[in-house]
Amino acid sequence: MKQHIKCGSQMLMLSLLVAANLVQAQTLSENIEEDELLDLYGDTEMIAIATGNLQTTAKAPAVATVISARDIQISGATDLDELLETVPGLHVSRSALGYNPIYTFRGIQSAYNPQVLVLINGIPISNLFQGDRSLIWGGMPVNAIKRIEVIRGPGSALYGADAFAGVINIVTLSGHDISENEFGVRLGSFDTQDAWAKIGFDWQDFSVGLVLEIHNTDGQDEVIDLDRQSLLDAITGTQVSNAPGSVSLSRENIDARLDITNGHWQLRSGMQLRRDWGNGVGGAESLDPSNRWKSNRYNADLTYRNDELADFWDLQAQMSYLQTSIETDNDLRLFPAGSDLSLLGLGGVYPDGLIGNPESFERHYRGNLTAIYSRLEQHQLRFGLGYTFSDLYKVKESKNFGPDPITGSMLPPGSPVVDVSDSPYVYMNEGDRTNIYAYVQDVWYLADDWELTTGLRFDDYSDFGNSTNPRLALVWSTSQKLTTKALYGQAFRTPSFAETQAINNPVVLGNPDLAPETLASYELAFDYRATTDLKLALNLFYYDWQDIIKFTQDENGSTKTAKNMGHQTGKGIELDMDWAISERWKVNANYAWQESIDESTNNKIALVPESQLYLALDWAITHNISLHNQVNWIMSRAREPYDNRDQIADYAVLDITLHYESTSGGWGADIIMRNVTDSDAREPSVWSIPQASIPNDLPLEGRNMYAQLYVKF
C-alpha cells in the first residue's frame, strides 16, 4: 500500500517564559476519579482529549482551552459557535451555503472545513460526504453541554484522520451532573422561540440524565445586494435575480440527549432533527428564498470501563453508531425561474429555474478497545485498537437538467424534474470506507519536573492505503509558577467523497486521484500562574501543510474540480490572560496573530484573520446580578489573488449579557444583547471567474436581543 504520510523530522526544542501554578498536579494518582479531579481543580482546569486521560490544562501535552458550564451560563451563549469564537487562535467564519460555520484554526481554512475534528464525548461526528459535521448543520445548542475541550494543533497520533488543524470535544451532561431539574424558555429577535428541559434522577442502580432542546427562528435578515444571478442578468438582459433580498436562515431544531450510567457501564444517545433549514445565499450563490432542507442525525454509544479488572490495568471498550441524512424539503433552485443559462452551457432559459435536489444518507459504526498500563514506575502506557465502517448507503437526486435517465439524451430547458437516483447520472455514487487503526502512547516521567509524551498511530484505509503519525511533547515544570511545553505532531486528512466522487454536478466535481492532505506542526508554549487569580499563557507555532485539496475553477467557468493544489506554511503567536481582579471583577482577554503563506505564489492566505482580539469583562454587581461584556475584534483579512474588490473590512462586535439568579437558586433570568453597536460585520465571500458571486460579502446579524427565564426544581 502506498504510504501517503511520511514520519517526521526531528523536533527542535526551545524554552522561554510564561505560566504554571498547578505543577503539583503531576503527582496525582491516576486512580482519582474524574469527578474528584473536577471538584479539586475546576472544569476550566481539566482536559481529557490531550492524552485520553483527564489532567490539568497546565500539564497537558497540548495547547488547550476548556469552556465550562459556568462559563457558558455567564456568557449568555445559546449556540456552540458563540463559545468557540472566544478561543485564542480560533475564528468562526461562515460559508455561503446555510451560513455553516467554518472553524479556522491558525489560518487553516477551507469551504467545508473537514480539517477540524469535532467529537461528542470523544467520538467523531464527521460525515463521509463532505468530511464535515453535516452539510445541514443548523447549529448546536448549549444546555446539554458540560464542558468544551479545544486543542489547537494536530491530534492524528491519537484521533487519526481529520484531527488536523484542531480538535473540539463536546462533553455532554450525565445524570450525575444534573443535581436539579430545569426548565427554560427564550424569546427574541428574528421571531426566535426556544425551550429546554434538563432532568436527572436515580432509578434503582441507574443514574439517568435527559436534556431536550427546541429552537425555532426565522433567522437573521440582513440583505444581499447582489448575487450570482445578478451578474447573469447583467450579461443576458434578464431580470430574475432575487437580490436584493434577505439571507435565508430559518431553522426548526429539536435536540435530545440521554445518558444512562450503571457502575462500569455508560449508555449515551442523541438526536438532532433539523427542519425548515434555509440555505443562506443559495446552493450556487444565487438567492433561493423558497428552498428548505431537513436532516436527521442519531447517535448512540455504549462504553464499558474497569480499572479493577486486572492489577495496573485500566481497560475501556466502546461501541458507537451514527446515522445522518441530508434531504431536500422543497426544491433547491440553483438559479431562479426565468434564468438564461446559455453562458454556462446549459442550453437557454429555464422557466422554473435550474433545479437540483441532491440527498445522501450515511451510517457509521465504530468499535475500539483502550488499555492503560501503569505498573512501570516512570511510565504510563496507553494502547488502542479500533475499527470504523462508514457507509454512504443511499444517494438520491432529482433535477431538471443533464441527461435523461431513460433516454440518455440531454433534458432541454423547461423540462420537468426527473428522478435520476440509481442511474449513471446521479451526482455521486454510493460507497463505503473501512478504517482499522492501532496506536501506542507513553507518558514518561523523566524527573520530578520533566514529562515526555510520545505517541504513534497507524491507520489503514480501504480506499487510501495507510498512514503513520507520530507526536512528541516535552513538558517542563520550569518553576512553581511556570510550565514550558515543546510540542511536535503530524496529521493527515483523507479526502471526502464529495472531493473524490462528485459527478454530474453543475457546481463542483470530484477527483478520484486525490492524495490525502498532510501537516507537520511545531509549538512552544508557556503557562504562567502569577497568582491564584492571574493566569497567563504564551504560545508560538509553526506548521507546514501540504497536498492541500481545493475546488479549482475549470476552463468552462461554471464548475470547479477538486485538486491537490498547494502548499501552505504558517507561523504565529497566541496570548491569553485570565485575571480575577476582585470578588466582583474578572477579565479574560486573548490575542492571536498568524501569518500563513501560499508557498506556490508567496501570497498571504486569503479570507482568514491575521489578527484577532477577544476581551471579556465580568462584573458581579450584587450577589444575585452579574453583567458580562465581551468584544470580539476580527482584523486583517486579505482577498484572494486577482480579486479586485476593496479589502475586507475589520469588525468589532460588542455583546452584553445581564444575568439574575434568585437567592435560593430556584430560578434565574437573562437579557442577552448581541452586536449592541449594530456593527456592519461581514465574512468574506469567495472569488469566482469573472467576479465574486456575492460582491459585498456575507453580512452577519445586526443588533439583536433575547430574554430567557429558567426554573429549577
CA 346 to chain centre: 36
Averaged pLDDT of the chain: 91
* Nearest CA-CA partner of 247 in 100, 84, 134: 100
pLDDT > 70? residue 31: no
Q: What is the DSSP letter of 160?
A: -
CA angle 654, 645, 285 (to 5 degrees): 80
Return the CATH fold of 23-712: Maltoporin; Chain A (2.40.170)
- Residue 630 DSSP symbol: E
Name the strand (E) or helix (H) holding 55.
Answer: strand 55-56
Is residue 387 a contact partner of residue 364, using CB atoms and an 8 Å limit? no
* Overall average pLDDT of the 509-515 stretch: 88
CA 143 to chain centre: 18
H or E segment to which residue 501 belongs: helix 497-501
CA–CA distance, 61 with 48 (Å, rounded to integer): 11
Q: Quick check: 133 and 112 in contact, CB under 8 A?
A: no
Alpha carbon distance 339, 237 (integer Å): 10
Give the integer Cα–Cα distance in Å for 498 and 502.
Answer: 5
Q: Is the pLDDT of residue 10 over 60?
A: no
Q: Is residue 82's pLDDT more than 50?
A: yes
Q: Beta partners for 305?
A: 316
DSSP structure class, residue 44: G
What DSSP assignment string belongs to 385-414? EEEEEEEEEEEEEEESSSB-TTT-SBPPTT
| 504: three-class secondary structure by DSSP | coil
| pLDDT band per the 50, 70, 90 thresholds, residue 43 | low
Q: Give residue 710's pLDDT.
A: 97
- Between 25 and 467, where is the model more confident? 467
**What is the C-alpha separation between 333 and 331, in angstroms, rounded?**
6
* pLDDT over threshold 70, residue 41: no
Per-residue pLDDT for 701 more than 60?
Answer: yes
User: What's the whole-model pTM score?
Assistant: 0.92
Mean pLDDT of 209-225: 97
Q: Which of 336, 185, 316 is nearest to 667 (CA)?
A: 185
505 compared with 614, residue with greater pLDDT: 614
Grid cell digits, residue 124: 467523531
Q: How far apart are CA 126 and CA 120, in angstroms?
A: 10
Instruction: Write the CA distances from 321 to 15, 361, 505, integer angstroms.
Output: 44, 14, 30
pLDDT of residue 44: 55
What residues are paired with 196 via a beta bridge?
A: 184, 213
Contact between 613 and 643 under an 8 Å Cβ cutoff? The reply is no
Residue 292, CA distances (Å) to 274, 282, 507 in order? 10, 10, 19
Label residue 238 by pLDDT band (50, 70, 90). very high
Distance, CA of 416 to CA of 422 (rounded, Å): 18
pLDDT at 20: 31
Task: Specify the higher pLDDT residue, 141 or 559.
Answer: 141
Q: How much is the average pLDDT of 165-187? A: 96
Examine the pLDDT at 345 and tell me if it is beyond 90. no
- The string of pLDDT tens digits covering residues 591-622 is 999 999 999 899 999 999 999 999 999 999 99
| pLDDT for res 273 | 98
* 3-state secondary structure (DSSP) of residue 72: helix
Q: Where are the domains positioned within the chain? A: 23-712
CA geometry: angle 243, 293, 678, nearest 5 deg? 50
